[in-house]
Amino acid sequence: ETGVTQTPRHLVMGMTNKKSLKCEQHLGHNAMYWYKQSAKKPLELMFVYNFKEQTENNSVPSRFSPECPNSSHLFLHLHTLQPEDSALYLCASESGDGPYEKLFFGSGTQLSVL
Amino acid sequence: DAKTTQPPSMDCAEGRAANLPCNHSTISGNEYVYWYRQIHSQGPQYIIHGLKNNETNEMASLIITEDRKSSTLILPHATLRDTAVYYCIVRVAGGATNKLIFGTGTLLAVQP
């Protein structure tokens, strides 16, 4: 148990669906991340939020829309996805205010787009 | 951030020490070396980090060369549960303002 909870654990959606991924951290952290991991590829950083403000958007297509209503919750809203968006989506958090940090990751949401 | 180079895969016998190398020849003076591991289909897990001194914790030891251009992660007594992809990452201190970028890592297979 890392203190970072992601739901759902698995998600299957059609290309016309709208769905949301949820991440919650119980660590009192101020920074939260979304990473994407396609099969047999390295983790790709998607978004970073620090103190609820988006500080990084790594050229992510607009069909992925993040939302960070408070420092404990992070969402990834999905709409009109493509089959190549099928991947493991990982959320992570860190305290965000220290000189040397470590990320705590959730178990991820395995997304399949049909 | 500076790049790292790791072998794509390594084998280790159960109970033996696993020594995972990492090259970071372009590391800057204010960049730390971090190690994470990822067991299949789970989120990565922090292992250890260091700046220039060797470090040890309950999971592993980190040996950084004097010129800081390379490092070695040591798992002293590997078990089957240590089979995972191990990532070596360099990152400037400063938290979330400095992105943590993962490479391809080393797949460590611990053999019975």
Q: Residue B67: pLDDT above 80? A: yes
Q: A85: Cβ–Cβ under 8 A, 6 or more apart, which residues?
A: A63, A64, A78, A111, A113
Residues 6+ apart with CB under 8 A from A15: A80, A81, A82, A83, A113, A114
Average pLDDT over residues A44-58: 90
Instruction: Write out pLDDT tens, residues A63-88.
Output: 999 999 998 999 999 999 999 999 99
Provide mean pLDDT across the span B22-35.
92
CB contact under 8 A, B96 and A94: yes
Which residues in chain A touch residue B4, judged by CB atoms under 8 angstroms apart?
A: none
Six-digit token string for A79: 């709409």
Q: What residues of A are in contact with residue B102 (Cβ under 8 Å)?
A: 35, 42-43
Check A103 against B44: CB less than 8 A apart: yes
Q: What is the pLDDT of residue A102?
A: 86
> Which of B30, B35, B100, B107 should one mutate to test binding to chain A, selecting the residue with the greatest count of A CBs within 10 A?
B100
- d(C-alpha B71, C-alpha B32), whole Å: 11
| Position B110 pLDDT exceeds 80 | yes
pLDDT for res A2: 82
User: Residue A104: what pLDDT?
Assistant: 93
Is the pLDDT score of B97 beyond 80? no
| Phi, psi angle pair for B97, to nearest 5° | -75, -15
Report the gap between the CA of A13 and the closest CA in chain B (Å). Answer: 19
Residue A23: its chain B contacts at CB < 8 A? none
Pairing mode, strands B61-64 and B70-75: antiparallel
Length of chain A: 114
Task: Write down the mean pLDDT value for chain A.
Answer: 92
DSSP at A85: G
Percent of chain A with pLDDT over 90: 72
Residues of B whose CB is below 8 A from A97: 95
